[in-house]
Chain A
Amino acid sequence: MVVRVQQAAFDYGQECAAFASTAAQAHAGAVVTFAGIVRDWPGGGLQGMEIEHYPGMTERALAAIEAEARQRWALQEVLIVHRHGQLAPGDIIMMVATASAHRADAFDAAAFLMDYLKSRAPFWKKEIGPEGAQWVEARETDEEALRRW
């Protein structure tokens, strides 16, 4: 398992290719990857995003979520990368990748990781626009998403 919390941008394509190659060596038959992207507002105008996190707790929370996923599904490899700091519209915020023998485990584990990461890992997003900056509010649907697991 690899969990990385970093300010620097990362190359999504390179990460996916490296992950698939490691997964293949571990005799996985399926890889699922997900990327979260800074989404512009429907009418445009988003200037940037600032992501704050809780150093220490973030790593612990991500490791706990990852360990839970490994208990529930047969996974050969797991990768979580999450950025913090200043991002621009279109930037990749984070990614998860899962590898398993067959696709169902990799798909389900990736969805589980994303649902938990959204509301149980201490990150907070702030959107910056022409009128100023505003914290992104958690959605009720994020909490509801956890109940299916």
Chain B
Amino acid sequence: MTLKVLYFAWLRERIGAPREDIETSAATVAELVAELRARGPRHEAALGDMAAVRVALDQELAALDAPLTGVREVAFFPPMTGG
């Protein structure tokens, strides 16, 4: 499947792009993260410490072990600082 992967704030800066289309067979967010980290030092710098990263699947917050079945858009970002 092809996933639209989005990055925000310092993750976007470390990756060097706001989005990329990823061809993957990852079953969960954690598997996708492992695949992305293997892509190189930029991805490792952004996704190396997942305790500092939040995930949304199709624009809803999700956990690391959440399945990717039927998901089209995955977003990675730091804890939110609105208000």
Residue ranges of A at the interface with B (Cβ–Cβ < 8 Å): 36, 52-54, 56-57, 60-61, 82, 93-94, 114, 117-126, 135-138, 142
The smallest C-beta distance from A48 to any residue of chain B, in angstroms, reads 16
User: Residue of A at shortest CB range from B75?
Assistant: A54
User: Residue of A at shortest CB range from B12?
Assistant: A52
| Contact residues in B for A135 (Cβ distance below 8 Å) | 9-10, 78, 81
Known: A60-B59, A120-B61, A122-B56. A54 touches B81 (CB 8 A): no
The answer to whether B8 touches A118 (Cβ under 8 A) is no
Known: A57-B75, A126-B9. A137 touches B81 (CB 8 A): yes
| Contact residues in A for B59 (Cβ distance below 8 Å) | 54, 56-57, 60-61
The answer to whether B82 touches A54 (Cβ under 8 A) is no
Besides A61-B59, A119-B81, A138-B79, 10 more A-B contacts (Cβ < 8 Å) are A52-B12, A57-B56, A117-B83, A118-B80, A121-B82, A122-B56, A123-B82, A124-B8, A135-B9, A142-B81
